[in-house]
Amino acid sequence: MKGLFGVLLLGALIALPACQLPIFPGATWVDATNDGARVVSTDLLSSGERVVYAIRISPAVAGQNQLLYLEVEVLNERANVSITAHDFLGRAYAQSDSPDYFFEPAVSRTALAATGEPPMTAQGIGVEAFCRGPCILQPAQVGIVFLKIENTGIVSTDYRLFAFTEVYADVNEPTNNTNSGRVEFSGLVRGALETLGDVDFYVTQEPVRSIRITGAPTVTVAPRAVLFNDDTGGDLGDITAGTGNYERIFRTPIRVRIQVFSGNDRAGPSGSSFYEITTTP
């Protein structure tokens, strides 16, 4: 899928030895698994130290309905550890220093839209997933991802690296990532913004008098819903979870088309990017 983080290569590349890689020649090679409890690497990370992993995603664990978790559990809570994911050319495309969210480090999704470039496409996971430490979630496609782990704190820490795939638990993903795949609903629909640039499309089954969006209690990703009159295409404004502007009331009932995306250019595990849309007929 062209444009999807610009990160994964053809499956044949995963067999290359490290000495043939154009970047990060000293990277430690590990294989992604389909077991979320399996530690693929563990080590001590001293203050100011950084390590790089070359993570292979094989056909056995990749797939259209699979999401890749890159997750680091930091065993010393006083340490300050961040992770950065790089593509095969060394370009950083996602960064995290929190179990709750990650972000695109160079160019925000808003900036991409302002320049006329298409936003990054995205996928989803379940609505109750949490990370054990800094994490990045993305589609599980065959290829290689480089993950840099850096300790910018003043204390050392042991860490555990997890790299695994799981099926989408958000039943609407990835179908509702385009307007043509929008989900028709009545009364209530739930989702999450677990990957960069995720845009979820919905439409109300019947005319409604109001629409409300709310988020998880610990949400650090700001789900924003842009509303349109489904009959005329007219713009009805937007509402954002976690703010005072979370509900829109209409003079007369109308069918509403809804686009949900991250209002602060962050994505995260569904436990912190979860949202819920409710309507009043």
CB < 8 Å & 24+ apart, contacts of 109-115: 109/196, 109/197, 109/261, 109/262, 109/265, 110/265
Cis ω on the peptide bond leading into residue 174 (within 30° of 0)?
A: yes
The chain-wide mean pLDDT, for the chain, equals 85
Residues in the chain, total = 281
pLDDT at 219: 74
d(CA 256, CA 206): 8
What are the pLDDT digits (tens) for 69-84? 999 999 999 999 999 9
Q: Are 45 and 151 in contact (CB under 8 A)?
A: yes
The token pair at 177 is 């990532």
Which domains occur in the chain, in start order?
A: 11-98+133-167 (2.60.120.380), 175-280 (2.60.120.380)
Which neighbouring-strand residues pair with 205? none
pLDDT at 21: 61
Lowest mean pLDDT segment, chosen from 15-19, 111-115, 154-158, 251-255:
111-115
Longest dimension (CA), the chain: 66
**pLDDT at 199 > cutoff 70:** yes
What are the pLDDT digits (tens) for 147-169? 999 999 999 999 999 999 987 66
Which whole number is the average pLDDT over 191-220? 91
Task: Identify the band that residue 127 occupies on the pLDDT scale cut at 50, 70 and 90.
Answer: low
The token pair at 199 is 């845009």
Which whole number is the average pLDDT over 184-213? 94
d(CA 206, CA 281): 8
